[in-house]
Amino acid sequence: MKKLFLILMSLPILLIGQNTYEIAILKYNGGGDWYANPTALPNLITFANENIGTNIKAAPATVEVGSSDIFNYPFLHMTGHGNVVFNASETENLRNYLLAGGFLHIDDNYGMDAFVRTEIKKIFPETELLELPTNHPIFHGKFKFPNGLPKVHEHDASPSQAFGIIIDGRLVCLYTFESDIGDGWEDAEVHNDSDFIRLKALQMGANILEYVFSN
């Protein structure tokens, strides 16, 4: 935990490009494809470094849920289409990480919703997963999203929603649902999304990183 606290104490400096940081993809068990969207996070990092002044290493790390190495990364990104399972020690490790100042972004790439909600409840049984209102600061950073989370892909014709776990006034876990925002971060030829859709996805992603590194 000490490593994470030291990182987080200097996070505001990141926004003026003084230090270099590394973020990570979260590898989990259960059979879900944690490795989905391989070009997403590198593209988001490039966009954020160029547009909000961050200085994040170009290639994200990969870290397992149960590893103490998660404390080396102020931001963890998790995605996939299927099953997610955290065992008892992994649940405790992730809880300690988030309470110590870490941040977890979970992006449902379609198909993981029922599983991930159960696992979030295991991490924070005392706290409800709440939908973030459109006036939440994460929608009003460098880029403005007055209507909330942008819609990237249609699946069930449902609106995109952003849910969160808030501890002592701080958003520690963001769960983006029915948006597929990570798909919008991928290389253009992967999903053939329009330039407009990809830009909105990347702008929202930059807002997420800005929130993490300034709160």
Specify the amino acid at residue 145. F
Give the pair of three-digit tokens for residue 208.
Answer: 């997420």
- The CA-based angle 146-209-184, given to 5 degrees, is 70
Torsion angles phi and psi, residue 206, rounded to 5:
-65, -40
> Could you list the residue range(s) of the whole structural domain that residue 80 is in?
2-214
Contact residues for 162 (Cβ-Cβ < 8 A; gap 6+): 131, 132, 136, 138, 139, 148, 149, 174, 175, 176, 177, 179
CATH number at residue 117: 3.40.50.12140
What is the rounded CA–CA span in Å between residue 207 and residue 141?
A: 5
Cα–Cα distance for residue pair 89/78, rounded to 1 Å: 18
Q: In 10 A of CB 35, how many CB atoms?
A: 11
Q: How many domains does the structure of the chain reveal?
A: 1
Please give the chain's pLDDT, 215 residues, in tens.
334 443 443 343 333 345 788 999 999 999 888 998 899 999 999 999 999 999 999 999 999 999 999 999 999 999 988 899 999 999 999 999 999 999 999 999 888 998 999 999 999 999 999 999 999 999 999 999 999 999 887 667 789 999 999 999 999 999 999 988 998 999 888 877 899 999 999 999 999 999 999 87
pTM of the model: 0.90
Burial class (CB in 10 A: 0-12, 13-18, 19+), 29: middle
Residue 188 is predicted with a pLDDT of 84
Helix (H) or strand (E) holding 181: helix 181-185
